[in-house]
Structure 1
Amino acid sequence: MKSYKVRWTDETGHRTSVTAYDEPSAEQRAEALRAEGHDDAEVYAVHPLTTEPLKAS
């Protein structure tokens, strides 16, 4: 199973969600951030055990 995180930028710099989400929940969080004005919010897949970004194969 894949896990996902959300990253965005705010006035303090780059931010990343602490929580690892399932894909639909991550998309909902990203949409909520975009609605708050964080247009660069993006969802990315992470390794479920380490939460490091998955590398493209």
Structure 2
Amino acid sequence: MPAPYLSLASFMAALHVGEPRALRALFHYAPLLRDQARRFGVDPAERTELVTTVLDDFILH
């Protein structure tokens, strides 16, 4: 869990209210996800959309 969140539940609660620190922590993972998409052969033109979809789905679920 990203600091200062002690559990997934507290991190998710912060995301759901739009806490800036939680959103920054979530989007901190975007470069890693883009790199993984590259490694899996995702077309460069589709990587950003894929990463956004993955992060959006994380928030929604």
Fold in common (TM above 0.5): no
Q: Which has the higher strand share?
A: 1
Q: What TM-score, normalized by structure 2, do the two folds share?
A: 0.33
Of structures 1 and 2, the one with the larger relative CO (CA 8 A, separation 6+) is 1
Report the TM-score when normalising by structure 1. 0.35
